[in-house]
Amino acid sequence: MSRINVLDEALWPHVPRDVIQQAEHAAQDGPCWIVRQGNGHVVALEGPGSPDVATGDIIFIAEVAPSHAPG
């Protein structure tokens, strides 16, 4: 089962492989997001976040599920 849930199919092909690897590594115990910032940079973003409350400063491209269950 894939740990990556792609939210924006149009932007996904433009995500650099190193950002995907960073996100997979960062998502050890909690989810990590791959986002496009307002300045155009695509980065891995740890911590809470939700595409439902995005303000336009970032665009959520994908969610990377944790590799270990919390707890």
DSSP-derived secondary structure for 7-64: S-TTTGGGS-HHHHHHHHHH-SSS-EEEEEETTS-EEEEESS--GGG--SSEEEEEEE
pLDDT at 24 over 60: yes
Nearest to 36 by CA among 7, 66, 11: 11
Q: Are the C-beta atoms of 63 and 31 separated by less than 8 Å?
A: yes
pLDDT for position 11: 97
pLDDT tens-digit series, residues 2-23:
699 999 999 999 999 999 999 9
Q: Enumerate the domain spans of the chain.
A: 4-64
pLDDT bucket at 1, cuts 50 / 70 / 90: very low
Measured CA to CA, the distance from residue 63 to residue 34 in angstroms comes to: 6
